[in-house]
Structure 1
Amino acid sequence: MIYPVIIRDLLLWFAYYDMYTPKWSNHIFDEWKDVMHRKGVSPDESEKRTLNLNNAFPDALVTHYETLIDHLELPDEKDRYVLAAAIKTNAHVIVSNNIKDFSEDVLDRYGLKIKTPDDFLTDIIDLNTEIAVEAFKEMVLNKKSPELDEYEVLDCLRKNRLKDTADYLHALL
């Protein structure tokens, strides 16, 4: 889950605070770059952002998963690379708003669950409330454009399908 920006930012701050280990693939970055281009981000800028993410989290990039793709079945074939990368890294959870595109039977076969970003983030907060609040506050302090206070960021989270996450963080502030 790399888009929208506010979701990506919170996920990455939680990862920065070692609350979970992010994993992504070049396929995911290709999809992300397509979204950025549609939003008016130049190819050079999207490439720079990709490099920055890989530099910030050098163990996150999954490779050598491509041979698995053709052996997987999902309702939407475009999601097979996500499943293949998750299998390759022995992940426990796939974070996506496209829950309907991942068959529970297929996920069970590989010991995987799928969670929305909201469910995933609330689970992380539940396990690490103090660290989650610290990471959230750090994210807010580093947010430059536009500069927002904690409550304005919580409103942004709510507007981007992270209502439970925002409500939970609000209760902890």
Structure 2
Amino acid sequence: MEGLKLPDPDDRHVLAAAIKVGAGVIVTSNLRDFPAEHLAPWNIEAQSPDDFVLNQIDRDGRIVWACVQQIADSRTRPPETVNDVLDALERAGLVESVAALRTG
């Protein structure tokens, strides 16, 4: 981990974990601390949560939709609908993903 270079040295453990497990993506809202030039040697890229979910929707939107449905079904106190879950995801910053799910 000592040899890993990132703008914020406190984030090196994230890159080290991604390398260790062979991850291709680090999902973070802190993209500026994971510049592409520092991740490229390990074939890793940083994506925002919204971009990551959009990529999953592009792969198979039915699976993402089923996950959202499963989250809604698991929320019983108080009960939540799919729209409640989508609203919460939108408030959390997944604006484009929620738009894609609502129109998809």
TM-score (norm 1): 0.57
Deviating 4+ runs (over 2 angstroms): 144-147
Alignment size in residue pairs: 104
Q: Name which of 126, 129, 134 aligns with 2:61.
A: 129
Aligned letter for 2:3? Answer: H
Structure 2 counterpart of 1:120: 52
Identify the structure with bigger relative contact order (alpha carbons < 8 Å, sequence gap 6+). 1
Q: Residue 170 in 1 paired to residue 77 in 2?
A: no
**Percent of paired sites with the same residue:** 34
Per the TM alignment, residue 112 of structure 1 is displaced from its structure 2 partner at its CA by 0.7
Structure 2 counterpart of 1:141: 73
Per the TM alignment, residue 147 of structure 1 is displaced from its structure 2 partner at its CA by 2.3
| Structure 2 contact 31–48 (Cα < 8 Å) conserved | yes
Matches within 5 A, 1:71-90: 71-90=3-22
| Structure 2 contact 68–85 (Cα < 8 Å) conserved | no
In 1, the alpha carbon distance for the partners of 2:82 and 2:65 equals 11
In 1, the alpha carbon distance for the partners of 2:11 and 2:27 equals 12
In 2, the alpha carbon distance for the partners of 1:111 and 1:151 equals 36
Structure 2 counterpart of 1:34: none
Q: Name which of 54, 58, 83 aligns with 1:151.
A: 83
Q: What runs of 5+ residues in structure 2 fail to find an aligned partner?
A: none
Per the TM alignment, residue 145 of structure 1 is displaced from its structure 2 partner at its CA by 4.0
Q: What runs of 5+ residues in structure 1 fail to find an aligned partner?
A: 1-68
Counterparts in 2 of 1:96 and 1:145: CA distance versus 1, 3 Å:
farther
